[in-house]
Amino acid sequence: MEKIAVLDSGGQYCHLIARKVRELGVYAEILPVSAAPAKLERFKGIVLSGGPASVFADESPQPDSGLFQLDKPMLGICYGHQLMARYLGGTVERGETHEFGSADLRIRWHADLFAGLAGRQRVWMSHGDRVSELPPGFAALADTLQCGIAAMARPDRGLYGIQFHPEVAHTPNGLRMLCNFLEKVCGCRMDWRPRDRIEQLKRSIREQANGRRVLFFLSGGVDSMVAYTLTVQAVGSESAEAVYVDTGFMRSGETAEIEAAFRAMNLGKLQVVEASKMFLGRLQDVIDPEEKRAVIGKAFVDLQDEILAGERFRGHDWMLGQGTIYPDTIESGGTQSAAVIKTHHNRVERIQELIDEGRVLEPLAEFYKDEVRELGRALGLAPRLLARHPFPGPGLAIRCICNGAAARPEPDAEIAAVAEQWGYRSFLLPLRSVGVQGDSRSYAKLTVLHDGPLDYAGLLPAATAITNAFRRTNRIVAALAPQRLAVEDWRIERASLNAKRVSLLQAADRMVTEFLYREGLYSKVWQCPVVLLPFACAGGETIALRPITSVDGMTAAVAQLPPEALLALARRMRAIDGIDAVVYDISHKPPSTIEWE
């Protein structure tokens, strides 16, 4: 089987590159960027990933000195492009501005990489440094307004470097570029499919379990259901058991729906544990998002230990099964040089201890969401289950934003000037959310655009322009109801998790889900988080709608829902007692993550 090596420089998209290569039909294996050249001889080609570091930094990931002496086709992406230039005699310098988001690429020379493509392409940028002088023997292939050497090549050696990210969905023809590299430059056959790994996955499950029983905590989502189904088919229902924990942070009606779906799958017994008081009690005064995730992860482990100490399990050797997938581990800093964007609840300290002890089974840890769905179809899971929107393990707890001190909206003249160019007023809120900019974690303030139309042609470019220019903000929302905010009347309140706030969020979430089904939009939206913010003018809260489109969750675009229907929904939601305003999250990923926390 032919293989491509993806060398990991710590980029959030490293594993996405590998997944795209596998999607095209070539098996990809991930190795550290420092891998010895001898280990790379068996690969048909090499891709150098992007990364959060600067090539100038002392601790930045660096390749083995012999890497570029290999007689192998190579494609350097972003940081990898800069490494290639620097090691082969070119010049890399810090850019005057950072480029995050969509850019217009002008192709000067098509070579093999751009074969069959038009001369203008939309591409996705996420970088600060840039190549300013070509290495000897290289030619410039393309540029953008802010980047003179956006692509370079030395075709006689099969060496290509690109500053943008072809692996993300927001480079529309990026997959074609990767395909050109695999076929035309590396000469690969396209003969590998993810579903072909099912039997190998089952063998791996049996080897890891090694006679032990496996306990799964199911969330009802696609990942845990597919992981559990694989495990049952591998070791039998007598050696695998499922527990569903109602944390109190589930969507309205979720527990009954999950019980019904599990019975229909005929996978054995499901134990339902009601634990809402425990979870809410532990999170009552927790404000920090990372601490929330740690508390939730620890609570799940404590429940596991309590269950395993019971009479039913006493005397048996057990391990914990989880539906962890690649994005969960990547954003938790799970690759060698990756920046921590947010800690997944499956990667908190106690879980990591169990992993180190060899007591955790994660059959899907190398797969992305779309691949998990493909595996689920091959395993015979119901289409309705596989089509469910992703839902985070911590549930609504991380969509209920908390705040430790009252505050007022903050004027920002520089951001306001950019917003005015697109016909909007703006202000900053000192409510922070998680983002990913330049492959690194950001934790920045929220920008609110208001007093303007719900016009995507203006809102989306305004959001990109603001987050590209100002690192102090990484997420932009547009006011829906009301569309104009009298800023002096609004304030951020102190707020923590409590039953009243969670109940309000559940009601809003249910209304949005019903709207998506009613308008025929559910299948067109990959996910629609509904977020509760302690931003008020009359003692209530603000609801943020976050509908996005995506393939794998690693990147996402704002879902452009029909404006009139969306505004009507916002007005109905504002009529709910306790909701003062409704806003629309118009931030792509990057620079924002899908979830706010």
Q: For 387-519, where are the alpha helices, taking DSSP H only?
A: 413-421, 456-469, 499-518
User: Which residues are identified as catalytic?
Assistant: 78, 165, 167
Q: How far apart are CA 130 and CA 475, in angstroms?
A: 25
| 314: Cβ contacts below 8 Å, ≥ 6 apart | none
Helix (H) or strand (E) holding 563: helix 563-574
The SS3 assignment for 3 reads: strand
Asked if 140 and 108 touch (Cβ cutoff 8 Å), the reply is yes
Is 406 exposed, middle or buried (CB count within 10 Å of its CB: 0-12, 13-18, 19+)? Answer: exposed
Question: Whose CA is closest to 25, among 185, 172, 169, 188?
Answer: 188
Rg of the chain over CA atoms, in angstroms? 24
Asked if 213 and 315 touch (Cβ cutoff 8 Å), the reply is no
Q: Given 3-state DSSP classes, what are the helix, strand and coil percentages for the chain, each rounded to the nearest 5? A: 35, 25, 40
Question: Whose CA is closest to 594, among 542, 543, 530?
Answer: 530
| 327: Cβ contacts below 8 Å, ≥ 6 apart | 368, 369, 552, 553, 554
Q: How far apart are CA 421 and CA 86, in angstroms?
A: 39
Q: How far apart are CA 92 and CA 80, in angstroms?
A: 12
